[in-house]
Structure 1
Amino acid sequence: MLCFMHYQSIYAMTRQQLKNSGKLMKKSCMPKNDVTEEQVGQIEQGKFIEERNVMCYVACVYSMTQVVKNNKLNHEAVIKQVDMMFPPDMKDAVKAAAENCKDIGKKYKDICEVSYWTAKCMYDYDPKNFKIKDLFRMSQLHNIVLCVLLFTNIHFSLQMSKEQLKKTMTIMKNQCMPKNGVTNDEVGEIDQGVFLEEHNVMCYIACIYKNIQVLRNNRLDKDLITRQIDILYPAEIKEAVKKSVRKCIPVQNLYEDTCEGIFYAARCLYADDPSNFIFP
């Protein structure tokens, strides 16, 4: 997967870190739509296979970047994301492609078809700038941040302010809140240690961890978490973070219910190191 490197921005990371982090979103959308690497691995080179599951895979990507409103691609939401997440030298080009293709969706009623043909239009309009970037760039940044947030100190990760992190985390929060029927009053202060012992809150927390690909067989997996730490974390804090994870992950085994187990493991992570615990 091709990812960008904007060296002068607050999102500056190594090319390998971006590449590894982008895999998280891809892993989420591929199984949901039963597609293979052969089917979707060359979209960035203009290979758009006209199959239903591929179309819905593209729609899944757009959905994760929060540009789908009422089951339709929302042009204003696209522009907002571009303004917020893209480097200045690319904004105009991406906006031009989005403007050129914004009416493609009017020809189709189905969100999968709308997303697919819009993406193809954007590629055809500007292949050089599109590649896979127009689909993946926003979601990559969100996933990069979220992987780091749950277990480490923000000052050692992306060097972002708390407000910037809060804005970036919104996408994951917006996905998991409606899925679990929770309100901001219930989950808005988890990062301050307010863990309401209600099942929908527990499942909201489980949803966050599931979306960042650290669950295996419905349990937090120490190896998956450790792998993320090894890939994304600065050397000077890796061992401290791993120590906290080793302490708290076994807590989930005291509970049969997946949501309960993950909830109490997360609460343990907060209790073990409140100052470094950040959660959407």
Structure 2
Amino acid sequence: MNLKLYIINFATIFLISPVSVSSMTRQQLKNSGKLLKKTCMPKHDVTEDQVGGIEQGKFLENRNVMCYIACVYSMSQALRNNKIMYDNMVKQVDMMFPPEIKDAVKDSIENCRPVAKKYKDVCEAAFWTAKCMYDYNPANFVFPQQLSNMDRKDLCLLIIAFILADGVDSMSKQQLKNSGKMFKKQCMGKNKVTEDEIGEIDKGRFVEQQNVMCYIACIYQMSQVVKNNKLNYEASLKQIDIMYPPELKDTAKGALEACKDIAKKNKDLCEASYKTAKCMYEYSPKDFLFP
């Protein structure tokens, strides 16, 4: 699954959850970079010693470090098509940064706009832009790469900024299926199911055993379809409106409406999730989607 599908999937969860979108604290901004750092460090073969002090002004003039910075900027939509996207940076600052540092950070961005024009190489352009922004205002320089634990809100706030800066419309049916791979991996391990047991749920193969039922419940919980052991009807409608391709929206809503009371008949969450999924498949097999 590529990064865009990954962040779209998280964004869907965020958009339907009761968390308000506002600015983040400075620590949240740092924490939210864990995903970026985890991806970019091995890709460019850099160590914590080489990149861990960037926010404190430790810029090693090393090719791998330069490309690591470019990778972080690329993943956060601050770099695209080998160009620094300064306007995207400004949008992210407006949406996400704490009020007390917004103006200072935007001033740094404006001051450093000309830097990238001096370098044809994207890694050098990213490196020297970041260093320029640090040098301009060290006290308010933020680079997303804290390797501490981050919570769901931290990650989702960061993701929303990336998506709103880039623009997202509905997904194709295949993209929707692909975007669930992260959920699938976590829920398979948690419920000890095999690919043979759960790999064809979207084709109508519902194995009646407890771990499969609880796997389905896990997927629904992670995607906010089920919340507090109940079908999250309104949230599911929002998911369909935001993410589904136009040709599937009406059918998906029809299936949801037809099956919304199934869970009320089953006190066991796993069984309720299983029967709800099966009901939705039977309503419209060709349009049923499950990760």
Range of TM-score over shorter length: 0.5 to 0.7
Q: Secondary structure at the match of 2:144?
A: helix
Residue 49 (structure 1) shift:
1.0
Q: Which residue of 2 aligns with 1:129?
A: 140
- Per-residue CA shift, 1:236-268, capped at 9, x if unaligned? xxxxxxxxxx55x737563579xx99x976357
CA–CA distance in 2 between the matches of 1:118 and 1:49? 14
Is 1:81–2:92 an aligned residue pair? yes
Partner of 2:62: 51
Counterparts in 2 of 1:85 and 1:253: CA distance versus 1, 3 Å: farther
Deviations 1:60-104 (A, max 9, x none): 111222122322112211111111111221111111111111110
Question: Kindly tell me: are residues 174 and 125 of structure 1, through their superposed partners in 2, closer, same or farther at Cα, counting changes over 3 Å?
Answer: closer
1:205 is aligned with what amino acid?
G
In the aligned structure 1, how far is the partner of 2:117 from the partner of 2:33?
Answer: 30
Matches within 5 A, 1:1-280: 10=22, 21-130=32-141, 133=142, 135-136=143-144, 144-145=152-153, 168-169=159-160, 171=162, 184-186=170-172, 196=173, 198=174, 200-206=175-181, 209=182, 219-220=185-186, 246=190, 250=193, 254=197, 266=219, 269=222, 272-273=226-227, 274-275=231-232
TM-score normalized by the length of structure 1 = 0.55
Shift of 1:19: 6.1
> What fraction of aligned residue pairs are identical, expressed as a percent?
41
**8 Å contact 1:46–1:127 — kept in the other structure?**
yes
Q: Which moved more, 1:49-58 or 1:270-279?
A: 270-279
Name structure 2 gaps, 5 residues minimum.
1-20, 204-211, 244-291
Q: Which has the larger radius of gyration?
A: 2
CA distance in 2, matches of 1:18, 1:72: 23
Residues 173/98 of structure 1: CA separation in 2 closer, same or farther (3 Å cut): closer
In 2 relative to 1, CA 174–28 (structure 1 residues): closer, same or farther, beyond 3 Å? farther
In 1, Cα distance between equivalents of 2:57 and 2:31: 22
2: CA distance, partners of 1:203 / 1:91? 36
Provide the C-alpha distance between the structure 1 equivalents of 2:63 and 2:123, rounded to a whole number of angstroms. Answer: 8
Q: Give the Å deviation of 1:36.
A: 0.5
Change in 2 beyond 3 A, CA 1:104/1:173: closer
TM-score normalized by structure 2?
0.53
Q: Which has the higher contact order (CA 8 A, sep 6+)?
A: 2
Give the match's secondary structure for 2:180. Answer: helix
